[in-house]
């Protein structure tokens, strides 16, 4: 749709140039009557204006049909009325009716309206890039577990409620479900904004589109297709993009009244001049002029631009507008509650404190930790490695690396077997750290 509006705008803009150049009013203002006018120039202007009207004006003409079909005249009705009156009256003038043509006004009006709608559609489609990213989160295949324990790859569309699916390390979860065997860490950052992987075990719910950590598990399918969490998010975003704001609804209502006013005033102008005693062609020219002037160029361009700017800026900052009407009421808010991680903060882990409990220095501890974590894809491990590199600490490659699902990792570094573990691991093994500095950092 964006490409269609772009094509219509540029074609119409190019054809508008000769239409404007051949307009008697423009020639008179520029003093170029002798240079630009020639015998039959009105027919040439008619040909170019006809292309602009039917090709460039088609979105508005078709929109007129849609609005009248729904019995809800709006902006499209007003624009179509203005360009149609200008075109058919000017055509009649070219072929014998006494009066002035309005081809250049017609062409420029179509150009302005096409530009506004092109910008609006471009911004909306730009916001759809976020929607496309959500769609790409879902894998195309799943490992279906049979009754005998064997697995086979099937399209995600073929799995059903109650099926059991194997999710291997590093794979995307194919649909919503519950873990029935195994334990792992799940990265749900793209869905929830929470950068720290969530520990999941038997009985825990998992979301389709999230990324499994370093352990395999078997899940039972609970929701498929449009019932899944991700599908509902996608539908919510799509509905928000198609919704109209209060400003747009107001503009459409204003356009309806302006349409009625334009027709009423135009008709009154025609009747008034006829009653005064002026010829029909003279009266019709004045009536058409009034109806064309009544079309609000600014309204047709300003409203799409407001939508375009608000949508593009919001999408550029990672904000998807769910309800445009609620978004417009945001100016009246006096308090906002945010989820911190991934919203107000970047959600990137790093090294904040190093507390030696033995004889090793802070740099040596960081070197050993970075060496072990360099083989892990866990976000916290990446933060440790990043912290070492920022401090210009060099570290060797480890050997015999092994992940401890949901608890940490172990490896051999410089001939020493090391483990980096979570507080939960310490509690499970009754390992108590009494140093007050560690407790202070842990409570931050």
CATH at 207: 2.70.150.10
Please give the mean pLDDT across all residues of the chain.
81
Asked whether residue 339 is assigned to any structural domain, the reply reads no
Residue 17 lies in a domain: yes
One DSSP character per residue, 373-422 reads HTT---HHHHHHHHHHHHTT---PPPEEEEEETTTEEEEEETTEEEEEE-
In this prediction, residue 416 carries a pLDDT of 87
Q: Does any domain span residue 6?
A: yes
Determine phi and psi for 140, rounding to 5 degrees: -95, -20
Q: In terms of domains, do 99 and 114 share one?
A: yes
Clarify whether residues 257 and 316 are in a common domain.
Answer: yes
Q: What are the helix (H) ranges across 52-102? A: 58-69, 75-94
- CATH for 376: 3.40.1110.10
Are 123 and 157 in the same domain?
no
> Are 245 and 300 contained in the same domain?
yes
Pair (151, 119) in one structural domain: no
Question: Do 100 and 249 have their domain in common?
Answer: yes
CB within 8 Å of 221: residues ≥ 6 apart:
159, 160, 161, 162, 163, 164, 165, 175, 176, 177
205-206 and 176-182: which strand pairing? antiparallel
The Cα–Cα gap between 28 and 35 comes to 11
Q: Do the beta carbons of residue 233 and residue 191 sit within 8 Å?
A: yes
Closest listed residue to residue 358, CA positions, set 303, 294, 429, 433: 433
- Tell which of 274, 301, 326 closes a domain: 326
pLDDT at 273: 92
**Which spans in 319-361 are helix H?**
324-328
Task: Determine the distance from the C-alpha atom of residue 65 to the mean position of all C-alpha atoms in its chain, rounded to a whole number.
Answer: 29
- Length of the chain, please? 444
- CA distances from residue 50 to 12, 15, 56, 96, 305 in whole angstroms, order as listed: 10, 10, 9, 17, 27
| 15-38 pLDDT, tens digit each | 999 988 888 777 777 777 667 777
Residues 97 and 186 in one domain: no
Q: Is 337 within the bounds of a domain?
A: no
Domain count, the chain: 3
Asked if 296 and 305 touch (Cβ cutoff 8 Å), the reply is no
Using the structure block, give the residue that is written with the tokens 């911004």: 123
C-alpha 347, offset from chain centre? 22
Do the domain assignments include residue 259?
Answer: yes
| pLDDT score for 240 | 66
Helix (H) or strand (E) holding 211: strand 211-212
Active site residue 339: yes
User: Which residue out of 4, 281, 339, 414 is catalytically annotated?
Assistant: 339
Domain termination residue (choose one: 185, 211, 234):
234
Asked if 30 and 123 sit in the same domain, the reply is yes
The per-residue pLDDT for 56 is: 92
Residue 34 lies in a domain: yes
Query: What is the number of alpha carbons within 13 Å of residue 260 lying toward its C-beta?
Result: 8
Residue 207 and residue 223 in contact, taking contact as beta carbons nearer than 8 Å: no
Same domain assignment for residues 73 and 159: no
User: What pLDDT is attached to residue 358?
Assistant: 80
Per-residue pLDDT of the chain (444 residues; tens, 9 = 90+): 678 888 999 999 999 999 888 887 777 777 776 677 778 888 999 999 999 999 999 988 898 888 788 777 767 777 888 888 889 988 988 998 877 888 888 898 899 888 877 877 776 666 556 666 666 777 889 999 988 888 899 999 899 999 999 999 889 999 999 999 998 888 887 676 666 788 898 999 999 988 898 788 999 999 988 888 888 877 776 776 666 666 667 776 777 787 788 788 888 998 999 999 888 778 877 887 787 676 665 565 566 667 666 766 776 666 767 777 777 788 888 888 877 666 677 667 888 888 888 888 888 889 999 898 888 877 788 888 898 898 888 888 888 888 887 778 889 988 889 888 887 777 788 877 777 776 676 665
3-state secondary structure of 105: helix
pLDDT of residue 15: 94
Return the residue matching tokens 């009248």. 68
What's the confidence (pLDDT) of residue 415? 87
What's the rounded Cα separation, in Å, for the pair 317 and 126? 12
Q: Are residues 321 and 370 in the same domain?
A: no
Give pTM, 2 decimals.
0.52
Among 305, 306, 304, 295, which residue's Cα sits nearest to residue 108?
A: 295
Q: Among 326, 350, 385, which residue terminates a domain?
A: 326
Token digits for 300?
């047709």
- Same domain for 223 and 257, yes or no, is no
Confirm whether 173 is domain-assigned.
yes
Domain span including residue 434 = 362-442
Q: Give domain status of residue 350, yes or no.
A: no
Query: Are 218 and 247 within one domain?
Result: no
What per-residue confidence (pLDDT) applies to 336?
85
**Nearest partner of 307 among 78, 67, 118, judged by Cα:** 118
């Amino acid at each position: 749709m964006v490409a269609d509006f772009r094509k219509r705008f540029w074609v119409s803009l190019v054809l508008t140039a000769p239409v404007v150049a051949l307009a008697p009013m423009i020639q008179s203002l520029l003093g170029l009557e002798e240079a630009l006018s020639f015998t039959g120039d009105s027919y040439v202007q008619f040909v170019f204006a006809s292309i602009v009207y039917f090709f460039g004006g088609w979105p508005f003409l078709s929109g007129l049909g849609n609005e009248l079909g729904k019995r809800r005249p709006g902006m499209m009705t007003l624009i179509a009325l203005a360009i149609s009156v200008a075109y058919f009256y000017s055509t009649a003038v070219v072929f014998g009716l006494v009066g002035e043509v309005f081809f250049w006004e017609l062409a420029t009006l179509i150009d302005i309206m096409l530009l506004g709608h092109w910008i609006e559609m471009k911004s909306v489609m730009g916001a759809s890039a976020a929607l496309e990213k959500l769609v790409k989160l879902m894998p195309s295949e799943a490992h279906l577990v049979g009754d005998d324990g064997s697995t086979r790859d099937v399209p995600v569309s073929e799995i059903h409620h109650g099926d059991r699916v194997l999710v291997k390390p590093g794979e995307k979860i194919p649909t919503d479900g519950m873990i029935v065997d195994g334990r792992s860490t799940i990265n749900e950052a793209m869905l929830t904004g929470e950068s720290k992987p969530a520990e999941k075990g038997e009985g825990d719910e998992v979301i389709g589109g999230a990324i499994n950590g370093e352990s395999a598990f078997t899940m039972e399918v609970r929701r498929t297709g449009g019932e899944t969490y991700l599908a509902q998010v996608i539908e919510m975003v799509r509905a928000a993009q198609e919704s109209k704001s209060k400003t747009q609804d107001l503009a459409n209502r204003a356009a309806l009244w302006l349409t009625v006013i334009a027709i009423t005033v135009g008709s009154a102008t025609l009747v008034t001049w006829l009653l005064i005693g002026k010829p029909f062609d003279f009266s019709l020219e004045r009536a058409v002029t009034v109806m064309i002037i009544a079309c609000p160029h600014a309204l047709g361009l300003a409203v799409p631009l407001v939508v375009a700017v608000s949508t593009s800026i919001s999408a550029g900052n990672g904000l998807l507008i769910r309800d445009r009407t609620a978004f417009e009421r945001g100016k009246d808010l006096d308090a906002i509650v945010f989820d911190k991680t991934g919203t107000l903060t970047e959600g990137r882990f790093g090294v904040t404190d190093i507390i030696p409990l033995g004889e090793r220095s802070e740099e040596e501890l960081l070197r050993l930790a970075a060496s072990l974590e360099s083989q892990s894809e866990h976000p916290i491990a990446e933060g440790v490695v990043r912290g070492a590199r920022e401090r210009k600490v060099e570290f060797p490659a480890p050997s015999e690396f092994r992940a401890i699902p949901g608890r940490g990792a172990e490896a051999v570094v410089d001939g020493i077997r090391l483990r980096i573990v979570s507080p939960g691991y310490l509690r499970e093994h009754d390992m108590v750290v009494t140093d007050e500095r560690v407790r202070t950092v842990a409570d931050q």
